[in-house]
């Protein structure tokens, strides 16, 4: 193939066509890719507005839409040319810093006075302390409260400490009631990330009976894939992304700019275990989002197998971090609507730009 295509999600069908046949077959086992062109007629009176917002009238009259569906997990994303062509905006953080500073003095600034503790006590990290969530999502629901207020200020050492403190908390909770063995770790950052308190904190829950539906669904999907194709789904998912140039490896851990992101810029970090390589990769992905992609509000979720033996089969299920941008802090509009809740995610960011940023951050000396 002498013809060169721009490495963009909008050219995904052409990029798939030129893959070696084995890689193409693997991709088609997991993803369905289709494209459509939407056309419209615009009155001349709209032209200047269109040019100001979208660059040219032609770009709006005929628009390319790419639909990607994960046939294993049934996640689906719609990429629109106009949205994808917009540059990723990096906004100044000065004003946000001031807004965050004004919220100092919240209950998490003095956790021993302002927060509850679990019946098994608090876990103290080097840069954090745990608390018991006041309004629980599950039988065990705790917080790792950061030593400092601003959630966008974090170092690698601090991030390691927060994750390790959360894991010690999960073990303590599990020791208190062994029926609770399904851990979930999350970080909602700032208002658009659904954090009710600005002060930096992770959350962790422990569930019983079975893992949370979305995680259990993924486990079952991966098992079904293994029984149909005799292969590990997560291994193939990484290979597919690598073949397209949407993956980067760091210390044996795979970082993917996901082909069916749930919201903007979604990155997956996939590791055999929750080790330093995983923490390092996740930290660097977070730093990349903050420093290179201008992300101020995000959600981080960490999927992992149960803490103790379970009846169901967790073999081959890795540790997975999912990281997603939730939009600019000044934006009033919600970033999910009926389309995302009930149909498919509409995505503006191009995974090819996301992987470039992740690779640059990970290769930074």
Q: Is residue 107 part of the contact set for Zn ion (CB under 5 A)?
A: no
State in angstroms the smallest separation of the CB of 124 from Zn ion. 17
Nearer CB in complex with Zn ion: 115/281 = 115
Q: Is residue 201 part of the contact set for Zn ion (CB under 5 A)?
A: no
User: Per residue in 184-201, is it b (16+ CB within 10 Å) or e — as a string?
Assistant: bbbbbbbebbebebbbbb
Contact range with Zn ion by CB under 5 A, out of 22-30, 191-199, 232-240, 319-327 = 191-199
The first and second tokens of residue 3, run together, are: 């013809």
Phi-psi region at 321: left, alpha or beta (left = phi > 0; alpha = psi -120 to 50): beta
State in angstroms the smallest separation of the CB of 108 from Zn ion. 5
Nearer CB in complex with Zn ion: 193/305 = 193
Nearer CB in complex with Zn ion: 84/145 = 145
Among 17, 95, 106, 124, binds Zn ion (CB under 5 A): 106
Identify residues 270-329 at the interface with Zn ion (CB under 5 A).
none
169-174 contact pairs (CB < 8 A, 24+): 169/118, 169/123, 169/130, 169/142, 169/144, 169/204, 170/140, 170/204, 170/206, 170/307, 171/307, 172/118, 172/120, 172/121, 172/123, 173/118, 173/120, 173/140, 173/142, 173/206, 174/206, 174/307, 174/308
Per-residue binding string, Zn ion, 145-184, x by CB under 5 A, is ----x-----------------------------------
State in angstroms the smallest separation of the CB of 122 from Zn ion. 17
The number of residues that bind Zn ion (CB under 5 A) is: 5
Contact range with Zn ion by CB under 5 A, out of 89-97, 123-131, 142-150, 186-194 = 142-150
Nearer CB in complex with Zn ion: 183/193 = 193
Among 31, 79, 108, 234, binds Zn ion (CB under 5 A): 108
Contact range with Zn ion by CB under 5 A, out of 19-27, 92-100, 108-116, 133-141 = 108-116
**DSSP designation for 89:** P
The first and second tokens of residue 125, run together, are: 């990290």
Q: Is residue 199 part of the contact set for Zn ion (CB under 5 A)?
A: yes
Q: Is residue 205 classed as helix, strand or coil in its secondary structure?
A: strand
Q: Is residue 109 part of the contact set for Zn ion (CB under 5 A)?
A: yes
Beta strands in the chain (DSSP E): 31-39, 62-70, 76-80, 128-132, 140-146, 182-189, 201-207, 247-250, 253-257, 267-271, 298-303, 319-325, 345-347
Nearer CB in complex with Zn ion: 111/306 = 111
Crossing angle of helices 351-363 and 276-291, in 10° steps, is: 120
State in angstroms the smallest separation of the CB of 56 from Zn ion. 47
Nearer CB in complex with Zn ion: 109/168 = 109
Cβ-based neighbour number of residue 152 at 10 Å: 18
State in angstroms the smallest separation of the CB of 40 from Zn ion. 49
| Interaction site with Zn ion (CB under 5 A) | 106, 108-109, 149, 199
């Amino acid at each position: 193939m002498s013809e060169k295509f721009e490495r963009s999600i909008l050219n995904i069908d052409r990029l798939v066509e030129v893959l070696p046949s084995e890689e193409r077959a693997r991709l088609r086992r997991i993803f369905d890719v289709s494209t459509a062109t939407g056309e419209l007629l615009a009155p001349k009176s709209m032209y200047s507005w269109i040019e100001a917002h979208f660059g040219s009238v032609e770009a709006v009259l005929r628009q390319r839409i790419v639909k990607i569906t994960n046939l294993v997990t049934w996640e689906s994303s719609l990429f629109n040319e106009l949205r994808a062509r917009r540059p990723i905006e990096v906004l100044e953080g000065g004003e946000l810093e001031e807004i965050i500073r004004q919220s100092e003095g919240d209950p998490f600034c003095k956790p021993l006075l302002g927060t509850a503790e679990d019946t098994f006590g608090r876990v103290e990290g080097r840069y954090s302390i745990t608390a018991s969530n006041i309004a629980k999502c599950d039988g065990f629901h705790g917080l790792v409260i950061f030593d400092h207020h601003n959630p966008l200020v974090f170092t690698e050492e601090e991030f390691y400490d927060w994750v390790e403190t959360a894991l010690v908390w999960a073990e303590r909770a599990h020791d208190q009631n062994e029926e609770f063995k399904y851990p979930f770790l999350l970080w909602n950052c700032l208002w658009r990330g659904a954090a009710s308190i600005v002060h930096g904190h992770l959350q962790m829950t422990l569930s019983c009976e079975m893992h949370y539906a979305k995680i259990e669904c993924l486990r079952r999907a991966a098992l079904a894939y293994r029984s149909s194709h005799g292969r590990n789904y997560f291994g193939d998912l990484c290979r597919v992304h690598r073949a397209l140039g949407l993956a980067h490896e760091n210390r044996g851990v795979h970082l993917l700019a996901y082909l069916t992101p749930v919201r903007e810029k979604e990155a997956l970090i996939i590791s055999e275990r929750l080790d330093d390589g995983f923490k390092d990769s996740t930290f660097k992905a977070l730093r990349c989002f903050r420093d290179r992609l201008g992300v101020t509000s995000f959600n981080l979720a960490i999927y992992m197998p149960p803490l103790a033996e379970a009846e169901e089969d967790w073999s081959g299920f890795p540790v997975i971090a999912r990281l997603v941008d939730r939009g600019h802090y000044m934006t009033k509009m919600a970033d999910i609507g009926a389309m995302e809740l009930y149909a498919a995610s509409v995505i503006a960011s191009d995974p090819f730009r996301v992987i470039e940023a992740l690779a640059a951050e990970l290769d930074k000396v």
